[in-house]
Structures are given as structure tokens and as C-alpha cells.
Amino acid sequence: MMFDYDCYKGSPENIKDVVLEENRILTRKLAESQQSFELLKLVHFDRSINLEKLNDIIIGCTGCLHSMMVYRGMILSNLKPEDSIYQQILSQIDDLTQGDGLTVFDKLFEDITVMCYPVSVSQINQEQDEKIYIILMFPKRLVNCEVKDFVTSFMLVNDVLVNIVISREKMVRLIETDPLTKLLNRSSWNSTLETIVRHPDSFFILFIDLDKFKIINDTYGHQTGDEILKETGHWLRSVFREDDRVFRLGGDEFAVTGKINPESAEGFYTKIQTLNEQFTKALWSKLQIEATISIGALFTKNAEDKDSLYLRVDRLLYKSKEKGRNTVSAESDFA
């Protein structure tokens, strides 16, 4: 009978070193497993975590210098666009995002190793496969096989984290989007009002109604009526700022809200006064149909409760209707 005595050939010190190293690796893997579990819980239950925050989490967990997410032509990063590293990565983005697994690039920078990992994004109501590319930058002197193995393992967990965030964002968009105009819907409006009340700041609210829309519907038909609603939504998005929120509350009722500097409230009010004429011209240009809007506008920093806010702006809209429509009724709490 033959025996393998190789495992006994090392000195006691060598055997001790091997055991300690194996224990260290096992301890690290157990810690990584626990970290992964806690991360999954955090990302799953915290709805405030978006891709930008997830990018920060990736930096913290991997210990990399910088991280970039490339998704649908959008780039999220802790780097600023004017940074030289950002510009260099951007110039090589097509080459970096070609691999199917973890790809390591050692020659882009003298002292930085770049790793790129593609995450397959699950689809909701879409057929096209999509990927989001995670680009990590490490000090070259610290990168070894163990670091690469860790990044590979972490990215398997990150696959799940990314898909949790993206799927949640898509579901929220589906739940909070009006299917006809693609504006935010009444459900989103209610949650926005609740946020305004919880975190009061100087803001404006507009209620906008299409005048005599039932007559327009009866005259031109419901299909044309739908086109008018869609064009109204498109026009509203075009005349307000990107961070203002535009809603279709139902039927021919729309709303817009956003932050406002009290010192510029007067200038903003002047802009609101021009919306009626702008809308009529824009709709005629697109559909050759003449229609007008009535507007109620509130400028305030007082948000006692959402019902009071709603009623206050609704009264202003009703005032515009009483004045003969195609006009603005506004109220400001700014002296």
C-alpha cells in the first residue's frame, strides 16, 4: 500500500503559515457572504437607493478609487466630466465595453488598473437585451489575483443589486406614469404633495385645464381629443424646466410643480402670463385645432397639508374659469 506523505514534508512553521492563510481566506469569504446578504437586504428595502447611490456603494465595498456605470448612453461616476481620468475612459469606452465577463486593462494608465464588468439587465415590458457596464479603477500596485477574484465574486452579487434597482425604477415609472401622455399620473401627484408637505420649501403649483374640452371631443372625435392631450403633455414638458414635475391628473386636467426662488417669483409669474398664447399657437401649429387653457398658479412656502394646498390652487383655477377662461389667476405668499 502506498501513502502520500507530501502533506507532512513541510516544516511545522510552513504548515502553520498554510493553515493561517487558509483560515484567513475562509474568514474573508464568510465576511463577504455576510456583506452580500446585508447589501441585498439594504438595496431591496431602501427605495431611495438608485443607480447613483449604488455606484457609491460599489466604491465602498470594492475599495476602488473610482467607479463608472455606463447605461443607455448615460454615465454615472464619482469622477467629474472634466477630470482627465474621466476623459481618458470616455475616449476608450467602446473598447472597454466589449467583453462578456470581467476584463482587466493594465495599459490605459501608468498607475491605475481598470476593470470592466457587464451586467445583463432584466426587462420589464421590453424585448431588447440590455447591459450596464461597471468600470472600476484600482491603484495598479494593489491589484493581484486575490483582488481580481474578489471583484469577480462581488460582481456576481452586484448583478442582483443592479437589477433590483433598475427593475424597481421601471416598475415605479409604470405605476406612476399616465399611459396616454407619458406624464406623471395622479398617484405620483399625491406622493409629490406628501413630499412637499414633509419637506417644505419655496415652490409653485400650477393647475391647467383645457377649456371646453368636451365640446372639442364631440366635434373632432375622441382620437383627435387624445392627440390634443398628448400634444398638451409634450408642450408642457417643453416649456418648463427639466427638474419641474408635470402631471396629468385625469381627463383634461394637468398640474406642474417645482421649486422657486422667492426673489425670482415675479419674473416666473410674468412667464406664466404668456403660457395661454403660447399654447394656442403651439397646438394650432401641430394639429390645426384652436384650443385654450385656464391656469391657476400658487407661489408659496407654506404647506400645512396636501388637501389645503390642492383646494387653494383649485380655487385659483376655478377663478380663471369664472373670468371667461383662457387666462391665469395667481396668488403669491412672497412679499
Residue 28: how many other CB atoms lie within 10 Å? 12
Please say if 305 is a catalytic residue.
no
Phi first, then psi, for residue 55 (nearest 5°) are -60, -40
CB burial string 243-276: b at 16+ within 10 A, e below: ebebbbbeebbbbbbbebeeeebeebbeebeebb
- Is residue 178 within 8 A of residue 185, CB to CB? The reply is yes
Q: Any bridge partners for residue 250, and if so which?
A: 253
CA separation for the pair 26, 120 (Å, rounded)? 29
Q: What is the chain's alpha carbon radius of gyration, rounded to the nearest angstrom?
A: 28
Q: Write the secondary structure of 128-150 as one string of H (helix), E (strand) and C (coil).
A: CCEEEEEEEEEEHHHCCHHHHHH
Catalytic-role residue among 252, 305, 314, 333: 252
The residues, ordered by sequence, that sit 6+ positions from 249 with a Cβ below 8 Å of its Cβ are: 185, 186, 189, 255
Mapped onto helix, strand or coil, the DSSP state of residue 248 is: strand
Mapped onto helix, strand or coil, the DSSP state of residue 80 is: coil
Mapped onto helix, strand or coil, the DSSP state of residue 312 is: helix
CA separation for the pair 158, 87 (Å, rounded)? 25
Residue whose cell numbers read 449604488: 54
Q: Say which DSSP state 201 is in.
A: -
Question: Which residues does the annotation mark as catalytic?
Answer: 252
